[in-house]
Amino acid sequence: MADLSLFDLSGRTALITGSSQGIGYALAAGLAKAGASLVLNGRDKAKLKDAAARLSGNGATIHRLAFDVTDHAAARAAIDEFETSVGAIDICVNNAGMQHRAPLEDFPAGAFETLLRTNISSVFNVGQAVARHMIGRKRGKIINIASVQTALARPSIAPYTASKGAVGNLTKGMATDWARHGLQCNAIAPGYFDTPLNAALVADPEFSAWLEKRTPAGRWGNVDELVGACIFLSSDAGSFVNGHTLYVDGGITASL
């Protein structure tokens, strides 16, 4: 019989950025069910409070840490203060992200810079801040949320594709620098999931029909289907997995 204790997160604390809705909220709920205490992050304090109330109703221990992940100094200050006054962050899920769709020849320069700060600088900012503490303890899990666009491109989202490609390679760099200190740094690359970020695509019958035909599983993903991968990479079961990007995409990257 399998030793399911390998997946038990009891006694561990997980910080999930961008966790007031969508994928971040689903991952937070899943980690809590596996036993972890949660540190929710977002910029909108009202949305964060609502998310915390919903999750605490299920018996989870919840902390809220409102800071802008694109601000290096703010991220470090918030995480340092939490580590000092509350306790260790054992698991970090870098989930915060954004999308902006436009033909590349017309893509606004300001939107390009904002997208890069949100999707890749945030991973560096938060990842570095938590790693400084994890290194001293000789243990820690960092999970970066990449994308199917880490490997593939589609029209009108070239900067997003570039940012998620960078997430995949920064994950490799984190593992290369920090594995010797006892950290496991990996990424989850979701395919097409029904989330607020994809609301416009979900509402487009033509796109949904294309996606269902293009994806071997024949459907959009449900955010709860990302939870198992996150628990695995957060737990002792993934103790020798490092620098890996795990695609959870219904087979879209496997098929032409």
- Residue 200 or 76, more confident: 76
pLDDT of the residue at 4: 87
Enzyme catalytic residues: 160
Mind listing the domains of the chain with CATH numbers? 4-254 (3.40.50.720)
Range from 58-62, 205-209, 246-250 carrying the lowest mean pLDDT: 58-62
Return the pLDDT at 198: 86
Nearest by Cα to 141 from 121, 101, 171, 105: 171
Q: What is the pLDDT of residues 99-147, one digit of tens each?
A: 999 999 999 999 999 999 999 999 999 999 999 999 999 999 999 999 9
Residue 36, classed as helix, strand or coil, is: coil
pLDDT band at 256 (very low <50, low <70, confident <90, very high): confident
Evaluate the CA torsion angle 236, 240, 186, 90 in order and state its sign. positive
